[in-house]
Structure 1
Amino acid sequence: MKRAVAVAVSAMLVSGALAGCERDSPGAANGSGPVKYPTKTVQLMVPAAPGGGWDLTGRTMQKAFTDGKLIDQSVEVYNVTGAAGTIGLAQLVSKNNGDPHHLMVMGLVMVGGVVSNKSPVKLDQVTPIATLTAEQEVIVVPANSKYQTLKQLMDDAKASPASINWGGGSAGGTDQILIGLLAKAAGADPKAMKYVAYSGGGESKAALLAGDLTAAVSGQSEFKDLVSSGKVRALAVSGAKGVDVGGGSPAKTIKDEGYDVELMNWRGIVAPPGVDEPTQQAITAMIDKLHTSEQWKATLADQGWEDFYKSGADAKAYFTSENQRITGVLTEIGLGG
C-alpha cells in the first residue's frame, strides 16, 4: 500500500472577483482597457494522483472547454501529487506567481490538508476564482465483505477499532474527516480509527479490491464504476438524501443508518497569487462561461455532482469560512490543532 506523503509547504487563498471583461495585456498594469484572456494555453494543475475527484474534475473541465469550444486556446491538465494537494499548492505559489494561465483544482480536502499538515502558511495566498461542485461521500466495502450495513461496520469499529482498516484520500481530507465524525457519532474514539491515506482515488480502489482495506471512503462518483460492476457494496452516502451510486437505486444516508452526520465534499478553482484584479475578473468570466455551458450541465448530471457555484467575493468569503469550520472539526476529532 502506498501512503500519501504528509509533508509540504502549503499556501493560501486571497481575493477573487466576480464579473469579467476582455482586455489587452498593455492595460493590465494600470487597470485600464479590456483584458483578453486566455492568450495562450491554460495549464490546469490537479494537485493529486490520477483517478481521484480532483483529477476527474480537471479532466471534465478540459473536455467541456474543448467540446464546447468555450475558449480559443487549449487546456492542458497535469498532476502534482502529495500531502492533500499542498505540494501542488506550494508549487503554484512559488513557481507560478503572477501567471494567470496556471490554474489549480482544489477543494475541501486541501483546506483540511493545510490544517492537518500544520502548514506554516495559511490559506490566504493564492487567488480564489470559484467553487464548482459539491458531492456526497460514499462508504463502500468489497462485495465479499461480511458487512451488509453501516451499523454492523460501526459496531465493530467501536468494539475493536484495530480490526477495521479504513482507506481514503489524503490525511486530514474529507474522507478522514467523515470517518472521524462517524466514529464520534457511533460512540467510538475518532483517534483510534486506523486510516490509510492515499494520494489518489485509483490507489484506494486498488487497495480495497486487493483486500488491504476493510472499507473505503471517497466521493460517490469515484466508486460508481465498482458499485455498478458489483465489485464493491455501498453502505451509505453522506448527504441529506440518498443518491444512486451505481446500484440502480438510491443508497441509504448515514442519517438513515442512525448516525447524525452529514458532509458534502466541494471542489473549486484558484489562480496563483500576484494576478491583478482585471485579470482575475477575466479568469472568472471564463469559468462563468464554463458553468453556464451545456457541456458542464451535462457533466454535473452524468457524474451526480451538485451545482455549488460561487465566484469572486462570494468564493473568497466561502473559502475563509470553510477554513475556520474545518480547523474546528479537525481539532475536535484529534487531527488538527
Structure 2
Amino acid sequence: MRRRLFLAGGLGVAACLAGCGTERYVPGARRPYTIRAGGERWRPVTRAFVGAVREAGFPVTGPGQAVRLTVTGLPALAAAELNDGQTLVETATPLARLAGEVEVVLVPADSRFRTFDDFGAHLLARPGQTPLAGGPLGDPDHLLFGLIAKGVGADTRQVDYTGYPNSAEAATALFAGRAAAVVGTLADWRAHIDQKRVRVLAVSCAKRFPGLDAPSLLESGVRVDFANWCAVVGPAAMPEEVHAPAVGMCEEVTGSTAWRRVCRTGGWLPIPLAGEEFVQWLASEVRRTKAVMRDLGLLGAR
C-alpha cells in the first residue's frame, strides 16, 4: 500500500478542549454558549449549528462566562490514533452527533466497472492492482475504502490507495487513469456527477440517496453504513448542572425543523443522537476506526 500526503485533520481539538473547563457558569434556564469549530473543515457546519441554536432561543456569545462547545468529527478520531493521542471520549465530554456527509464510490464515465459488483469482484481478486484514491491517509475516504475492501473479502493490507489533499487533485488522478476508483463526499463530486464525467457505483449511507441512481453499500452486499460525521463536544469533566442542559439544548436544536433545513441547504444528512446514546455510539465508532486503521496497516497491534 502506498502512503502519500498524510494531512491529518482535527489535531487542534484536544489542545482547544484542554483548557476549556475553567469558566464559572452563570445559572439559568437558557445558558449562554460559545461555539467554535475544531478546525477549518468544520466551519460551515459550525456556522449552521450556531444559527439553529440562536433560532431555538439559546444565546450564543463570545468567550466569557459561557459554556464553551466545540464542533469536531470523524477525522479527529483517526488523527488521534495516528498520532498516538487521546480520543474525544478521553479529552472532551461528548454531547451530540449533528450531521454527516454522504460519501460516494466513483469511477470515470467510461470505466469498465459498470456496477459496484464489477468493482468489488476486481478488488477482491486483485486488491494490489486496483488503484484507489481519495483524501489523505487516515481520512474518512481512506477508512471507507478499508471498510469496503474488508466487506468484499479483500486483503486490506494489499489495498493500493493514494491520498490527495483535496478532491480536485483526486479528480485529476482519476481522469488521468492513475486511479480506477475514488471515494469522496457527494458535495465535492456533485459537479462531476451532474456533468456525467463520473459514474456513482454506490453511496455510503444506509439507503439510496434521493436524486442519485446508485445503490447503497448495504444494498450491494457490503455491511457498511458510513458518513463523515460531525458532533458537538464540551470540555472534559463538565459538571452535571452544565452537562445536562447542554445535552438538552443539543437535542432540542438537532430535532428542530431549522436544523433539518440548514442540513438540507448544506448538503448534510441530519443524524441526531445525544446524551448517553451518543456516548455509547461514539465508543463503538472509536473501536471501528481503530480496527479499520489496523486492517489498512496504519496502526500496529495495540
Fold match by TM threshold 0.5: yes
Q: List aligned pairs for 1:310-325, cutoff 5 A.
A: 310-325=273-288
Residues 36-68 of structure 1 deviation map (CA, whole Å, 9 limit, x = unaligned): 5326xx34214354xxxx4553343245456x4
Distance in 1 of aligned mates of 2:290 and 2:163: 19
Shift of 1:297: 1.6
Q: How many Å separate the matches in 1 of 2:197 and 2:115?
A: 16
Structure 1 distance, partners of 2:43, 2:181, is 22
Give the alignment's Cα RMSD to 1 decimal: 3.8
The partner residue of 1:236 within 175, 197, 202 is 202
Matches within 5 A, 1:93-132: 102-115=68-81, 117-123=82-88, 124-132=90-98
Deviation by residue 1:299-323 (Cα, 9 ceiling, x = unmatched): 3445665443222233222222322
Superposed, 1:243-258 pairs within 5 Å as 243-244=209-210, 248-257=211-220
Distance 1:264 1:171, change over 3 A: same
The CA deviation at 1:262 is 1.6
Judged with a 3 Å threshold, the aligned counterparts in structure 2 of structure 1 residues 301 and 311 are, in CA distance, closer, same or farther, namely: same
- TM-score (norm. length: structure 2): 0.74
Contact 2:254-2:260 within 8 A present in 1 as well = yes
1:226 aligns with 2:195: no
1:47 equivalenced with 2:10 (yes/no): no
Uncovered stretches (5+) of structure 2, i.e. residues with no partner:
18-22
- Structure 1: runs of 5 or more not aligned: 15-24, 76-95
- Percent same amino acid at aligned positions? 25
The reply to whether residue 215 of structure 1 matches residue 209 of structure 2 is no
Tell whether 2:161 aligns with 1:195: yes
Q: Does 1:169 align with 2:171?
A: no
Q: Output the CA distance in 2 between the equivalents of 1:143 and 1:37.
A: 52
Q: Distance in 2 between matches of 1:48 and 1:136?
A: 19
Question: How many aligned positions are there?
Answer: 288
Q: Does 1:298 align with 2:286?
A: no
Distance in structure 2 (CA, Å) of the matches to 1:323 and 1:160: 29
Deviation at 1:237, TM superposition (A): 1.6
Give the residue type in structure 2 aligned to 1:178: L
Match of 1:131, SS? strand
Specify the SS of the correspondent of 2:7: coil
* Residues 252/104 of structure 1: CA separation in 2 closer, same or farther (3 Å cut): same
CA deviation string 1:163-215 (max 9, x = no partner): 43322334334322321232234343211212233455566456546765432
**TM-score, structure 1 normalization:** 0.68
